[in-house]
A and B are shown apart, each in its own frame.
Chain A
């Protein structure tokens, strides 16, 4: 599988990562190599094999649907680049 610069730009935009022209050129080569290498999985017949969902066979634990935490907005937002009145602050969005 080979990816071109336009594909790299499209993935980068899906991943919300800004990359410049030069980077998208070299990334196209690198990603093509990696995807070409992982392509070898297609040799394997996996018909009827269940995709793994959990590596350790276990039943996920359940608990009562109770409020067990909360009331700490200052702690939650303590590391935000910008916070105000117990909320995260972001640039104004008008669309």
Chain B
């Protein structure tokens, strides 16, 4: 394995800064790693030529004394971010051949900071899924395997390609988006760090929209420090996204003091859900002890409406999706299937262009928004969403952060749970409540299952207190000392 692909994002930054390696060398090593990682199917589009050109420009910029925050660091970009002139698919057949004529704000921020594009990473179609199985471009394989069992496992989803690429050392870091857990759950399944910031912290402009009141971009990295570094480059106020928030972006790395003495960490009793494995419970208890040993005080808290978060999510997210996906009509983008009339053309295009899970969600969304059901379903869900947000607000009157598991199990097999949508939805039971409340959350790899698979713990924080989340996550990371490596590593 190449030493350069084994670096952390912050470690590579420091080497570049000292002139011990060039962006070109670092990028060449990663271009080779992306190629070596092809068996995972983590990338939909590889951009080696663009990567090398960007790296050379970066070396020139650095020589001129103009190095940005991520100068010369090669990363993967979830294929949900529009990238100017580079195929952008959202892993859907309906976006065939779509080459955006503009750049998303988050990717623009990353390029402005000096980052280098390795390629566009695979995902669940339109980010709808928890397994990366719904991609039109095929499933992604998790680089991890169960001990003594070579059957492929899912990387989680929807940011499964990003998680697999980072875990397999094919990219130093990658972007993700999280609507109900799509950064945190795949991070947990692949043994990496995934951070969903507060709603409004990163601009949604130029990200293919799934559920606009929930979607947030965030970093997927191998360490908490890398996560802090990358979020600083991604976040900004953006006048093109009216829900983006105009606050200064702090230096998140500076928050990693390791000192959590006197902090109060909540442990929500309602997260002890049916079907959670004993080893997840044991890891959670271990996490509580780690934080206590570091000087924090842990207290049991109640988030009484937790049980209703998933059904609420599965009304609100499909409702917004059915509206957002109305734009794929065979007129403006990608695929067009012929029809005798305009309506037939729409129906044929959307019937062929959308996969099964996307259809299911658009139909559910259309149903809950239709005349006669709008109040009973959609408005009811929005009321329950207010109650869920209130639960967190009340808890945060007494605690600074909250500790929970990230997912109820380790990664499952490719093809499992596909015949039961609700069983699949239950993967997000611990991540969806904070999404509904717009709060920041991070998943940190904290241990291995009995079968040798990574398990994650989640830290949730108050709105716009990412610094607290990073600080607690850093302590957790240090205490867990997670050093295990996946079976498959590129290069």
- Please tell me if A67 contacts chain B, counting CB pairs below 8 Å: no
- Please tell me if B351 contacts chain A, counting CB pairs below 8 Å: yes
Enumerate A30-47 residues with CB–CB distance to B below 8 Å: 30-31, 33-35, 37-42, 44, 46
Asked whether, in the complex, the Cβ of A91 is within 8 Å of the Cβ of B421, the reply is no
Asked whether, in the complex, the Cβ of A34 is within 8 Å of the Cβ of B422, the reply is yes
- Please tell me if B32 contacts chain A, counting CB pairs below 8 Å: no
Given the contacts A31-B364, A41-B381, A46-B387, A79 and B342 also touching, CB distance less than 8 Å: no
Enumerate B208-262 residues with CB–CB distance to A below 8 Å: 213-214, 239, 242-243, 245-246
- List of B residues within 8 angstroms of A81 by Cβ: 330-331, 334-336
Asked whether, in the complex, the Cβ of B334 is within 8 Å of the Cβ of A15, the reply is no
Asked whether, in the complex, the Cβ of B334 is within 8 Å of the Cβ of A79, the reply is yes
- Please tell me if B366 contacts chain A, counting CB pairs below 8 Å: yes
- Please tell me if B360 contacts chain A, counting CB pairs below 8 Å: yes
- Please tell me if A85 contacts chain B, counting CB pairs below 8 Å: no
Identify which of B200, B363, B379 gathers the most chain A CB atoms within 10 Å of its CB. B363
B335 CB to nearest chain A CB (Å): 7
Identify which of A51, A52, A60, A75 gathers the most chain B CB atoms within 10 Å of its CB. A52
B387 CB to nearest chain A CB (Å): 6
Q: Binary interface profile of B, 290-317, with partner A (CB < 8 Å = 1, else 0)? A: 0000000000000001001001101100
Given the contacts A34-B314, A40-B311, A17 and B239 also touching, CB distance less than 8 Å: no
B435 CB to nearest chain A CB (Å): 9
- List of A residues within 8 angstroms of B382 by Cβ: 51-53
Enumerate A49-84 residues with CB–CB distance to B below 8 Å: 49-56, 58, 60-61, 63, 72, 75-76, 78-82
CA distance A55 to B345 in the complex (A): 37
Q: How large is the interface on A (under 10, 10 to 19, 20 to 34, 35 or more residues)?
A: 35 or more
- List of B residues within 8 angstroms of A35 by Cβ: 364, 367
A93 CB to nearest chain B CB (Å): 5
- List of B residues within 8 angstroms of A46 by Cβ: 380, 383-384, 387
- Please tell me if A22 contacts chain B, counting CB pairs below 8 Å: no
CA distance A52 to B305 in the complex (A): 15
Asked whether, in the complex, the Cβ of A12 is within 8 Å of the Cβ of B99, the reply is no
Asked whether, in the complex, the Cβ of A93 is within 8 Å of the Cβ of B213, the reply is no
- List of B residues within 8 angstroms of A76 by Cβ: 101
Asked whether, in the complex, the Cβ of B389 is within 8 Å of the Cβ of A54, the reply is no
CA distance A19 to B348 in the complex (A): 9
Asked whether, in the complex, the Cβ of A11 is within 8 Å of the Cβ of B200, the reply is no
- Please tell me if B347 contacts chain A, counting CB pairs below 8 Å: yes
CA distance A32 to B202 in the complex (A): 36
What does DSSP make chain A's interface, helix, strand, loop or mixed? loop
CA distance A59 to B99 in the complex (A): 34
CA distance A44 to B309 in the complex (A): 12
Given the contacts A17-B354, A91-B339, A52 and B322 also touching, CB distance less than 8 Å: no
Asked whether, in the complex, the Cβ of A11 is within 8 Å of the Cβ of B389, the reply is no
Identify which of B200, B348, B359 gathers the most chain A CB atoms within 10 Å of its CB. B359
CA distance A12 to B411 in the complex (A): 34
- List of A residues within 8 angstroms of B350 by Cβ: 15-18
CA distance A30 to B351 in the complex (A): 17
- Please tell me if B448 contacts chain A, counting CB pairs below 8 Å: no
Asked whether, in the complex, the Cβ of B360 is within 8 Å of the Cβ of A31, the reply is yes
Identify which of B200, B242, B331 gathers the most chain A CB atoms within 10 Å of its CB. B331
CA distance A86 to B155 in the complex (A): 43
Add 8 more A-B contacts to A18-B350, A31-B364, A91-B341 (CB < 8 A). Answer: A8-B363, A11-B363, A15-B322, A18-B348, A34-B314, A35-B367, A55-B438, A93-B342
The 7 closest A-B pairs by CB, nearest first: A18-B351, A55-B438, A51-B382, A81-B336, A46-B383, A38-B311, A18-B347
Using a CB–CB cutoff of 8 Å, the interface residues on chain B facing chain A are 97-102, 198-200, 213-214, 239, 242-243, 245-246, 305, 308, 311-312, 314-315, 322, 326, 329-336, 338-343, 345-348, 350-352, 354, 359-360, 362-364, 366-367, 370, 376-377, 379-387, 389, 421-422, 436-438, 463
17 sample A-B contacts, Cβ–Cβ < 8 Å, listed by A number: A13-B347, A16-B329, A17-B347, A17-B363, A31-B367, A41-B312, A44-B387, A46-B384, A49-B384, A55-B199, A55-B436, A56-B198, A75-B102, A79-B97, A80-B333, A81-B334, A93-B341
